[in-house]
Structure 1
């Protein structure tokens, strides 16, 4: 380990969309941070993770961190262990520094083939054993308790420039495409940031475990498509345009749906994220896609 490492509370590996919400919250709460990007843009540190490389030199420019947040997906076998090993070799080789690792994951590992039959999933439910990201995440979790690790599996992300209103036409370009659309699970970037810092500040509650994070709601694509149409975010508040409201009305008659949103039994995959919010004594603050 070199002598010129600065120290920071949180190291964000991959300053992407999440950092738009996370960095201001760190500043607000007085939590020191550093962030990386592939190019070193906007004052970040230039760092690119290569899961096939055992060369520690790329890690030497990174600061000493209490918690390392991995925002990019790892899908290569052995990749998670490689990242942890090389960071610790360059920042904690003497064994004195306890470094914790948080990996951001996806909720698509649960119920990916559940399209019509309703089924509930929580963080302890069996997941797709062939999902590459899930396997890499399991590899990271297996390092605990020797290396404190945890995984936050996030639902669909929205906020800032991301609005689901812009995706109605893309998600359901035809009436038949809309017919098979069922549930949607989301979480706002500000709540993701809040969740990350809660884990950073109470890591003992999270260590060695996988967490499922949504805004605690199950949305119905028919309901959203009917209300929004193809207007997009730029036409919020205007009467919905496009064929989707008419398609939804026809589908309701054809499928015997009396009102929207549809009953849970008709929405396929259903995600239960209560465990995270209860454990950390938090509630999501941005919900209902408003």
Structure 2
């Protein structure tokens, strides 16, 4: 870990999971001193398992003081944000860190354009904890669109979320953010912190599920025609079925071309404000 001073770091990552595979290399590139935790202390991390009912300060005492504490795991409901920040504060007198919580854009439910100032589901357990963090510690929240990058690719989600034509019909917009851009956003917020502010983070693209499913299916069918030995018959049949569903739905719903017009996609996300605030733009382009 890039931790020359074990007592103090610039950024403490509570929960070094998938996001950290992109974040840690970027921290090292920028020379940002960091420490990270995992539940079992693997790969040189600090063992830490957050237990919201525990009054034991021991786990927190193992953590270094930090200018910014990044919470990657979900806090839920009332009390957890207060509990975590209280115990970190008690065991790190004078540290006064900035807290960043990673959340999810699913708290916005409106069937139209949504941005960081739009009404959200205030009864959502994660939203409750985020609101509490902003209230008790003046924390900031990055609510993330669908995460992708590395082995996590949206085209691999299709079989899980589209098992029938009816499920495909119900699919509207998809919003994404690459792990590299999540990491850039975290560092940017660390450097240009916004106390008590919730942000909506996406890659500034609105994807149409029908359009993506059609495009990915065409790619597989075309590749299978050129290299049939590399594909199973059932795999090709599945892609042809998806293509048929898209075509049938376009006819049934009067959709003349893909991607569909925005009003037909339901909830759509406007993530411009965060990128404007930090003076950056997403780096990864459209998903393929």
RMSD: 1.8
Pair 1:221–1:11, CA change in 2 (3 A)? same
Q: Deviations over 1:11-45 (max 9, x none)?
A: 00000000000000000000011100001111111
Give distance in 1, aligned partners of 2:218 and 2:142. 32
Q: Deviations over 1:93-128 (max 9, x none)?
A: xxx3331110000000001xx5xxx41111011111
Give distance in 2, aligned partners of 1:230 and 1:39. 43
Give distance in 1, aligned partners of 2:43 and 2:218. 34
- In the other structure, the counterpart of 2:152 is 162
1:54 deviates by 2.2
- In the other structure, the counterpart of 2:130 is 137
Query: Could you tell me which of 260, 263, 268 is aligned with 1:262?
Result: 260
1:52 deviates by 1.1
Secondary structure (helix, strand or coil) at the match of 2:223 reads coil
Structure with greater helix percent: 2
Pair 1:58–1:261, CA change in 2 (3 A)? same
Question: Quick check: 1:220–1:267 contact (8 Å CA) kept in 2?
Answer: yes
Structure 1 residue 244 and structure 2 residue 245: aligned?
no
Give distance in 1, aligned partners of 2:32 and 2:186. 12
- Residues matched between the structures, number: 271
Pair 1:124–1:12, CA change in 2 (3 A)? same
For structure 1, the 5+ residue unaligned runs are none
Which stretch has the larger CA shift, 209-218 or 167-176?
A: 167-176
Q: Which runs of 4+ in 1 moved over 4 A?
A: none
Give distance in 1, aligned partners of 2:52 and 2:254. 51
Which stretch has the larger CA shift, 280-289 or 258-267?
A: 280-289
Question: Quick check: 2:218–2:243 contact (8 Å CA) kept in 1?
Answer: no
Q: Deviations over 1:161-204 (max 9, x none)?
A: 1001111121111111101110101000000000000010111x
Q: TM-score with structure 1 length normalisation?
A: 0.89
Alignment of 1:189-204 (within 5 A): 189-203=179-193
Q: TM-score with structure 2 length normalisation?
A: 0.90
1:5 deviates by 5.4
Structure 1 residue 8 and structure 2 residue 1: aligned?
no
- In the other structure, the counterpart of 1:226 is 214
1:242 deviates by 3.7
Pair 1:236–1:250, CA change in 2 (3 A)? closer
1:129 deviates by 1.9
Secondary structure (helix, strand or coil) at the match of 2:279 reads coil
Give distance in 2, aligned partners of 1:28 and 1:5. 19
- In the other structure, the counterpart of 2:231 is none
Alignment of 1:1-290 (within 5 A): 6-92=7-93, 96-111=94-109, 118-143=111-136, 147-203=137-193, 206-229=194-217, 238=223, 241-290=239-288
Question: Quick check: 2:173–2:208 contact (8 Å CA) kept in 1?
Answer: yes
